[in-house]
Amino acid sequence: MNQSSKPFKLTIFKTPQKPPSTTTTTFSRQPPLDLTTITNLILKAENQDSLTQTLHSISEWTPHLVQTILKRIWNHGPKALLFFDALDMNHHSYRHSAAAFDHAIDIAARLQDYKATWTLVSKMRSRKLGPTPKTFAIITERYVSAGKADKAVKIFLSMHEHGCQQDLHSFNTLLDILCKSKRAEMAYKLFKIFRGRFRADVISYNIIANGFCLKKQTPRAMEVMRELVDRGLEPTLTTYNILLKGFFRSGQIKEGWEFFMEMKKRKIEIDVVSYTTLVHGFGIAGEVEKSRKVFDEMIGAGVLPSVATYNALIQILCKKDCVENALLVFDEMLKKGYVPNATTYNVVIRGLCHAEKLDTAIEYMDKMRQDCEPVIQTFNVVIRYCCDGGEIEKALEVFEKMNGGENCLPNLDTYNILIGAMFVRKNADDLLTAGKLLVEMVDRGFLPRKFTFNRVLNGLMLTGNQGFAKEILRVQSKCGRLPRNFRL
């Protein structure tokens, strides 16, 4: 595309249509609205009054419908919470379920709006809907993601104050959250303090071992396994698979293979997870033929590949061989009756994009809808490769599909990819689009970096868009990202 291409217009900035009349007679005659239409009406509502009118136009609200909509607009946090509150206060024939509260709490905590988070927890408790261990798992995970791991531990220890008792399952959940955020040492210290109180089981030990494996500290994971045995517990197949994956993840291919052979020698039942680990591990190490050989061996041993096994093989063929061979395996998978999942399609689409076959990648994105819905990673991969290949208009078309009724809305990565791409061609229209994207992402509850604000601001100033630059500066001030000593 050349610089004279027609500038892209974001539909999110179009003036929303006037909400339909709220008279009862009118609504009773309207045909039922589909999910996409309902979602778009909610997103286009400018304030709580117009949102309330939209909600009243739909007479049959169900817990399933509300949960589905909350999932769809999850990446527009402020609007999702506004929808949740408006429905709770103004639609008397409907009452939120515990699952809906969990969704709202997750969104509020992701936005780091902790006041709203705990207000929702209190309201949930007043209605005798919880909070449940799942609610606290959501909250602690969000605090850990925000870098507040110590606070997350304190929240876990105070669960009983909110009417929810800690037990082994909730303890294991906390350990798992810490380990998956690469805080294995912290989890292990907690584990040693509380393992007696909660009567730690083999699952607890597996979680800690996996935490060390995620950090490529296989020797520490082996120590945890020996400790497990010393405590009189029996390692499970999951224990062995965690360690097997740990060896391959840390690049210890020889040790991993020897560990696998030791599993066979001890007559430990080898399952599809074990073989999938080998297929992926050898492939990532560049030993594609060995990976294929293991794949064939597992079938010969009477262990049927899973979708995850095919995903692993397709991924390594895309990365270490060629996308054409990966597509042959994909076709073979379909012929054998397997149903590809989002991961399968994402791997194929990424492989096609990497091979500069963008049009084919988008075709597979459309084909994907026959088996599963595209997820945020699907869109982001295509958008990123379009931008990297100079296909800015094509990237914006894919972005527009997300805003126009897809099951997922753009996230922080989506906006960062697109805003960055708007500076490549150095033309005024692209920089204007960057500014609009910045305003939209803030409106949806995302906090851009100070660098992003300043880059857009400087770009608008240099291209003569001082008026819009002032608007960006006001948005920047509200977000607490105002540069020092800056004057327009």
Q: pLDDT of 116-164, one tens digit each?
A: 999 999 999 999 999 999 999 999 999 999 999 999 999 999 999 999 9
Q: pLDDT of 1-44, one tens digit each?
A: 444 444 444 433 333 344 444 444 333 434 556 788 888 888 88
Whether residue 370 sits in one domain with residue 351 = yes
Q: What is residue 25's predicted lDDT score, i.e. its pLDDT?
A: 35
The encoded tokens of residue 356 equal: 């500069």
Residue 416 lies in a domain: yes
Q: What is residue 405's predicted lDDT score, i.e. its pLDDT?
A: 58
Q: Which residue has the tokens 């963008």?
A: 358
Global pTM reads 0.85
Residue 88 lies in a domain: no
Q: How far apart are CA 78 and CA 84, in angstroms?
A: 10
Host H or E run for residue 364: helix 358-368
Helix-strand-coil split of the chain, %, nearest 5: 70, 0, 30
pLDDT category at 472 given cuts 50, 70, 90 is: confident
Host H or E run for residue 168: helix 168-180
Whether residue 367 sits in one domain with residue 330 = no
Whether residue 379 sits in one domain with residue 308 = no
Whether residue 481 sits in one domain with residue 418 = yes
Among 135, 59, 54, which Cα is nearest to 97's?
135
pLDDT category at 481 given cuts 50, 70, 90 is: low
Residue 386 lies in a domain: yes
Whether residue 315 sits in one domain with residue 361 = no
- Percent of the chain surpassing pLDDT 70: 91
Q: pLDDT of 424-442, one tens digit each?
A: 988 899 999 999 999 999 9
What is the per-residue DSSP string for 70-119? Answer: HHHTTTSHHHHHHHHHHHHHH-TT----HHHHHHHHHHHHHTT-HHHHHH
Q: pLDDT of 288-309, one tens digit each?
A: 999 999 999 999 999 999 999 9
Chain mean pLDDT for the chain: 89
Residue 355 lies in a domain: yes
Q: How far apart are CA 247 and CA 250, in angstroms?
A: 5
pLDDT category at 166 given cuts 50, 70, 90 is: very high
Q: What is residue 406's predicted lDDT score, i.e. its pLDDT?
A: 62
Residue 35 lies in a domain: no
Residue 385 lies in a domain: yes
Mean pLDDT for 320-334 is 94
Q: What is residue 480's predicted lDDT score, i.e. its pLDDT?
A: 67
pLDDT category at 483 given cuts 50, 70, 90 is: low
260 vs 43, higher pLDDT: 260
Lowest mean pLDDT among 157-166, 397-406, 445-454: 397-406
Side-chain-side CA neighbours of residue 246 (13 Å): 26
- Percent of the chain surpassing pLDDT 90: 70
Find out whether 438 and 452 touch, Cβ atoms under 8 Å.
yes
Mean pLDDT for 262-289 is 94
Residue 429 lies in a domain: yes
Whether residue 488 sits in one domain with residue 426 = yes
Number of domains into which the chain is organized: 3
Whether residue 289 sits in one domain with residue 302 = yes
Whether residue 348 sits in one domain with residue 324 = no
pLDDT of residue 477 exceeding 50: yes
End-to-end CA distance of the chain: 33
Residue 119 lies in a domain: no
Q: pLDDT of 347-392, one tens digit each?
A: 999 999 999 999 999 999 999 999 998 999 999 999 999 999 999 9
308: CB partners within 8 A, 6+ apart: 272, 273, 276, 343
Instruction: Tally Cβ neighbours within 10 Å of residue 358.
Output: 20
Mean pLDDT for 464-468 is 87
Find out whether 312 and 279 touch, Cβ atoms under 8 Å.
yes
**Which residues constitute the domain of residue 306?**
270-338
